Amino acid sequence: MPDNMDHIITPEQAVTLHGLFLERVNRTPDAVAYRYFDTHQEAWLSLAWAQIREQVARWQAALLRENLAAGDRVAVMLRNCPQWVMFEQAAMSLGLVVVPLYTVDRPDNVAYIINDAQVKVLLFETDEQWQALRTAIGQLGCVQRFVSLEKIVGNDEPRLQCADEWVPTQAALQPERKRKRDELATIMYTSGTTGKPKGVMLSHHNIVYNAYAGLLTFPLDKDDCMLSFLPLSHAFERTAGYYMSMMAGATVAYARSIPLLADDLKIIRPTILVAVPRIYERIYGAIHAKLEEAPPLKHKLFTLAVDVGWDRFEYQQGRGAWSPKLLLWPVLKHLVADKVMDRMGGRLRLSISGGAALPPKVSRLFIALGLPLVQGYGMTETSPVVSVNRVENNLPSTVGPPLEGIAVRIGEQNALLVKGPCNMLGYWNNPEATAAIMDKDGWLNTGDTASIGASGHITITGRLKDIIVMSNGEKVPPADMETAILRDRLFDQVMVHGEGHPALVVLAVVNPEGWTQFAKGIGVRPDMPESLRDTRVEQQVLRRITAQIGEFPGYAKVRRVLLLSEPWSIENGLLTPTLKAKRARIFARYNQEIVRLYEGH
């Protein structure tokens, strides 16, 4: 166990997630719990733990008036803000089960989840959300109370109340219920890249233990500040960015939005950053876009800084030899690395990436420039963190060793199996799906293929369901190929197809700037849709793809490519709310074009 852990609340002291909150308030009532931007005052404001407790009492009183029974489900569909925490803690204090919803999800998906969980109270934020919900109001008969943070003009729905009217101005916190660690705390619906979302049932202990095991790996303290911008409906943000911070007494600042993230990083100057790869990829892309406009000398200096910085990292990790060029680092740090780190606030002492694979070129750049960036692995069904690299033992090509108390092993077809206190209770109302993923001994099949090195580090090698079985019997892991192809900045999104076919084809969404440059270079008009289908374009693009996948076996050849200009998004139903591609839906959308690609082959 690391030193100086006295300030951290243990699972035995917390027992439940509401118990964790009460312990934190009792220990540090005057410490800053949350910072947020108030749009009315146009200023960043702070809330202490004792102030949060007062607000929780008000939300608790409002929920009590709804006459709900312990075990009833309530849902929250807010962006990250203090009210998210207040509502959830109030609900958990009464033994209610919280169902988080994505603010950007489609109404039919939201309606499905609300019905499946039989949600009694739904808290949301804006009039825009309400107008979307109204399109599915006929499917929301189980909801007895809708609560909006904003005032809804022209409201004709008797079940809808504004929070200002629904929540009393003052209330006292009710006497605490008996803390039961194995009680159901939340149902978190997985995004579902195929089929309907499944409700993952997590107990209080599942999450409390996971947060604590994370802190055994990376101790946070009261001086730490975390910038929260991944949705709290995402298991990774909820455990790492909410409960871990509460457990350690750190401050959480809620970012205003992803477009304003660059500004918020400079204003908040966080010490801890928890993000999915897409965020690091955006920063990486912005850095390289600026470099392309920079003079050649600046470009060379940046490349040198990354090369020397990487050698320095490998030397510090005990994997590389010392070299005289490492003496250049103080100068390169001052001229290059510090400027990049200042754009991220200049105080980061730890950055964690999870939720999907981090492209090697991206992790290499940030690590080389001095950001302590570690990659981890997990899934909603494991509360969610299974493994993570340690700063002092960081193998960026892996997702690190498992957290303390979590056992892993490799099963049939190289599937990664996980067992431990963080494994879910099961899927809500779905015993068949539960039995399919978890055996009678408690081993959970992640559905990912992996290998475990001698050091205990886990390497994710692919996805069982996503393995392409070609008509010649060869098996291809598309995720690895897609990551390789995306090294070419001509592409923003890529998908490999070939199930049951003798050859592979690629669907690729082009980067707008990259496409303009590329098209002009070979003499076609970038603004003409038919240019994407030009045979000269396809030949050149196939050459570029072939250059990126040279390390793959000979049978893994891409024969045709379908170029697309419209990105896959949540809005057009081709990405999940956690930004994972819905492979089946994408292939269905472009089925006719894919059929044409294979014609005559």
- pLDDT per residue over 182-228, tens digit each? 999 999 998 655 467 899 999 999 999 999 999 999 889 999 999 99
Burial class (CB in 10 A: 0-12, 13-18, 19+), 120: buried
pLDDT, tens digit (0-9, with 9 covering 90-100), for 273-299: 999 887 888 888 889 888 988 999 999
Backbone φ and ψ of 390, nearest 5°: -100, 150
User: Which pair of structure tokens corresponds to residue 272?
Assistant: 């801890």
The pairing of strands 444-452 and 415-419 is: antiparallel
Check residue 577 and give its pLDDT.
Answer: 82
Phi-psi region of 533 (alpha: psi -120 to 50; beta: other; left: phi over 0): alpha
Residue type, 284: Y
CA dist 184 → 89, 209, 213, 428 (Å):
14, 14, 20, 11
Check residue 217 and give its pLDDT.
Answer: 94
For 265-298, b/e burial (b = at least 16 CB within 10 A) is bebbbbbbbbbbbebbbebbeeeeeeeeeeeeee
Domain that holds residue 479: 468-598
Read off the CATH number of the domain in which 124 is found. Answer: 3.40.50.980
Residue 393 lies in a domain: no
Q: Quick check: bond before 259 cis, omega within 30?
A: no
Check residue 281 and give its pLDDT.
Answer: 83
Residue 363 lies in a domain: no
Q: How many domains does the chain have?
A: 2
* Whole-angstrom distance, CA of residue 450 vs CA of residue 154: 55
Last residue of a domain, one of 274, 293, 314: 274
Residue 536 lies in a domain: yes
Cβ atoms < 10 Å from Cβ of 365: 23
Check residue 578 and give its pLDDT.
Answer: 76
Residue 153 lies in a domain: yes
Last residue of a domain, one of 239, 274, 309: 274
Check residue 550 and give its pLDDT.
Answer: 80
pTM (2 decimals)? 0.84
Check residue 282 and give its pLDDT.
Answer: 83
Last residue of a domain, one of 226, 246, 274: 274
Residue 131 lies in a domain: yes
Residue 503 lies in a domain: yes
Q: What torsion do the CA atoms of 106, 107, 112, 113 make, to the nearest 10 degrees?
A: 70
Residue 541 lies in a domain: yes
Give pLDDT < 50 ranges for the chain: 194
Check residue 235 and give its pLDDT.
Answer: 93
Residue 108 lies in a domain: yes
